[in-house]
Amino acid sequence: EAGVAQSPRYKIIEKRQSVAFWCNPISGHATLYWYQQILGQGPKLLIQFQNNGVVDDSQLPKDRFSAERLKGVDSTLKIQPAKLEDSAVYLCASSLLFQETQYFGPGTRLLVL
């Protein structure tokens, strides 16, 4: 079974630039999550989708971050404009509806210079 796919795997940008990340969850997983993991810390939930609806975005910095999951499958996370402190690994995860086990993708490593 294919796992969670993410692209790109690495991205280097300058501050104030924009960047977008893509995630394709495991087939059939209705719930999709985006996490930010700063070096030395555990992942922090940014946003949770159930199908194409937002369930929790309480920790998403909405002035610069946005995310969508228009057709209830793939999702994109955008940062505009990026700041130095956005340097982190952005992890996408998915799970079956109401199931606790989350499966993570390999992540996108973002470096903001």
Partner 1 sequence: RKEVEQDPGPFNVPEGATVAFNCTYSNSASQSFFWYRQDCRKEPKLLMSVYSSGNEDGRFTAQLNRASQYISLLIRDSKLSDSATYLCVVKGSPNAGGTSYGKLTFGQGTILTVHP
Q: Residue 67 in contact with residue 60, Cβ under 8 Å? A: yes
Please tell me whether residue 31 binds partner 1 under the rule CB under 8 A.
yes
Residue 76 Cβ vs partner 1, minimum distance, rounded to whole Å: 19
Residue 13 Cβ vs partner 1, minimum distance, rounded to whole Å: 20
Q: Residue 6 in contact with residue 22, Cβ under 8 Å? A: yes
Among 19, 24, 25, 43, binds partner 1 (CB under 8 A): 43
Coil, strand or helix: which one is 84?
Answer: helix
Please tell me whether residue 44 binds partner 1 under the rule CB under 8 A.
yes
Read off the tokens for 89: 């690994």
User: What is the distance between the alpha carbons of residues 12 and 78, in angstroms, rounded to a whole number?
Assistant: 14
Binding site for partner 1 (CB under 8 A): 31, 40-45, 48, 50, 55-56, 91, 98, 100-102, 104-107
